[in-house]
Structure 1
């Protein structure tokens, strides 16, 4: 995500096409597994204060079990709710819409930025953000004496690690363990079901003007591979990259996927684009729109996204 030349365009694309709330500053050079097993305590993991090293190697001291938590991304909000922390969440972004209860929480900003004064006013004892965040905002939060931890998972395994890490930080280790064990089991079940199927050539549209694809290292690239497909943009240089239409037509995907992220994006609007009539996916009516909040958020529902993609690629296996 960090490699877009126009950051304003990037923010818009992430909101509309990925719904990943963009409060990130940079990319994902450090992986979530690097932070796994790095919560140190003086006694048991449930004992505070905790000395934490987050995904970006920031050392953070959490003096007591968090009672007031602010989330700066929909995916992290979903993680916190899944851990049973709904009563402790005091602030979320405008795009935090799952579960339904998240809509009732105080809003601290949107993709254009967060209201730092509102965050401080809520008096949280923990802020959880997606990515490195903005240095200026981070500094103000720290100056207010509020601990902030940062995670940016880019795969199912990293999501699992992030859930476990947030579970440690919030005193919900057992809940996190149960959630992630169920996720692993479901992932293995889906992968086993599709492993012997013929791999169809798949294209996933991130954006249409300009045409952008999910490249290697992106969530959708992993989901396509695990679901028994072959991503035709697997050799792109970036996770989210512009993709020439001539190249799309030449590689001729069997299945065309996109998120149903705008009202004017429909299967018919995609199929009617000039030149698309020669693509196998269009000729064989295999253009599909997927639920954006499920396929784009690196949270507990990411395995649901895998199942959704697998069902789309191999519907006969899931009847």
Structure 2
């Protein structure tokens, strides 16, 4: 896999300076002699990976990676690749505790999506994303074609891909998400970085945790709803994405399972009408929409004249999950564990 030339890097730096992006205007120095953690020596290069309708060929393991989403970052950190990551972005929650030390060495480019110039200012040779919105021509960071033109390979999580189309990049999901797509993401990234044994170990650990979490769950079919964000036009989980996967895994019924969307915007009247017995509330570290914070969600539910009459609100049948635990990522398993534990300790 080719790096951008030093001349191209100098041009980017110059453009950044002209744009007045002082804080990010200097590209990180690229030292090809800098040692990075050795791989396992089992991946054969050149390696071609077909990824959501895009073919990428790697002549070696990436050395300078920008991860555009928390989910992607946590997979890379779990694979022991902190030394390869030159920048991360789009964080909704605190880092997993077991990854905090490794993550402390990684530069955060932005809490939300970074600009194309900031990304390229790190001299990346590989860009990963959990959500295809980052690769959109309008409103995204950069298209994958644009990255390829500058010698930068890219990777989109298979959890956001169906039939070669990105769901968050403008496509529509037509089939329920399965956890196998998460395992595929881990396995493919591990192969790209020549650490397939680490990838298999991570997959096995996630499978083991899921089995342990659901072993004692009664799966009593309680009705449930997942509220991610926004008090005015609330986003509740539909029936095709990761929250639905969590619901079915622990034996509950998502009241919006008939809605063919990941996180459709709905109304409070619709929520009250469907009357879930349990409310899963997103506890987000970000502050982009009203009701991102857990405390704000609880306060709204208790005081809004429409929602306060709901039995789930009056009984405070709440389960708090981080945003990352309701999105497709290794944190999904944490969501399964937390919900299964709550159900076991709060029988119907």
Fold in common (TM above 0.5): yes
Residue 335 of structure 2 is aligned with which of 296, 305, 318?
Answer: 305
Q: How is 1:32-71 mapped onto 2 (pairs within 5 angstroms)?
A: 46-54=43-51, 56-71=52-67
Match of 2:28 in 1: none
Matched residue pairs, number? Answer: 270
1:122 aligns with 2:122: yes
Which of 76, 82, 86 aligns to 2:82? It is 86
More divergent stretch after superposition (131-140 vs 59-68): 131-140
Aligned to 1:73: 69
Distance 2:144 2:304 in 1: 44
- Which residue is 1:142 aligned to? 148
Name the residue aligned to 2:167.
Answer: none
1:82 and 1:300 in contact (8 A); partners too = no
Contact 1:50-1:62 at 8 Å conserved across structures = yes
Deviations along 1:87-140, whole A, 9 cap, x unmatched?
Answer: 1111111528523343542344453x4332333332222221233412454333
Q: CA deviation at 1:84?
A: 0.5
Going from structure 1 to structure 2, the CA distance change for 1:107 and 1:297 (only over 3 Å counts) comes to same
CA 214–273 in structure 1, closer or farther in 2 if over 3 Å, else same: same
Preserved contact between residue 260 and residue 291 of structure 1 (Cα < 8 Å): yes
- The answer (yes or no) to whether the contact 1:50–1:169 under 8 Å persists in 2 is yes
Work out whether residues 213 and 341 of structure 2, in 8 Å CA contact, stay in contact via their aligned partners in 1: no
Aligned to 1:210: 233
SS across alignment from 1:205: strand
Over the aligned positions, Cα root-mean-square deviation in angstroms equals 2.4
Q: After TM superposition, give the deviation of residue 187 of structure 1 in Å.
A: 1.4
Report the counterpart of residue 198 of structure 1 in structure 2.
Answer: 220
In the alignment, what sits opposite 1:271?
A: 302
Q: Is the CA contact 1:83–1:176 (under 8 Å) kept in the aligned structure 2?
A: yes
| One of 210, 235, 240 as aligned partner of 1:187 | 210
Q: Distance in 1 between matches of 2:155 and 2:322?
A: 29
1:175-229: CA deviations, max 9, x gaps?
A: 00011011112212323321x3422111111232113310111211111121121
The structural deviation recorded for 1:162 is 0.7
TM-score by length of 2: 0.70
Q: List per-residue Cα deviations over 1:241-290 (Å, max 9, x = no partner).
A: 13333332232211112112234514243122212233221232213332
Specify the SS of the correspondent of 2:215: helix
CA shift in 2, pair 1:222/1:114, >3 Å: same
2:247–2:253 CA contact under 8 A, matched in 1 = yes
Question: What's the offset of the Cα at 1:163?
Answer: 0.6
Deviation string for 1:279-308 (max 9, x for gaps)? 221232213332333x23432232111111
Once the two structures are superposed, residues 132-168 of structure 1 have per-residue CA deviations (whole angstroms, 9 ceiling, x without a partner) of 4124543332121111122241542211111111111
Preserved CA contact (<8 Å) 2:128 2:154: yes
Cα distance in 2 for residues equivalent to 1:120 and 1:247: 44
Asked whether 1:253 is paired with 2:276, we answer yes
Q: Does 1:288 align with 2:319?
A: yes
Larger Rg: 2
**Cα distance, 1:48–1:91 mapped onto 2, change above 3 Å:** same
Which stretch of the first structure deviates more once superposed, 218-227 or 263-272?
A: 263-272
- What is the TM-score with the length of structure 1 in the denominator? 0.76
Deviation above 4 Å: which 4+ runs of structure 1?
none
Q: Gaps (5+ residues) in structure 1?
A: 1-43
Contact 2:238-2:264 at 8 Å conserved across structures: yes
Equivalent residues in 2 for 1:142-161, closer than 5 Å: 142-153=148-159, 154-161=177-184
**How far apart in 1 are the matches of 2:320 and 2:301?**
10
Structure with greater contact order relative to length (CA < 8 Å, sep ≥ 6): 1
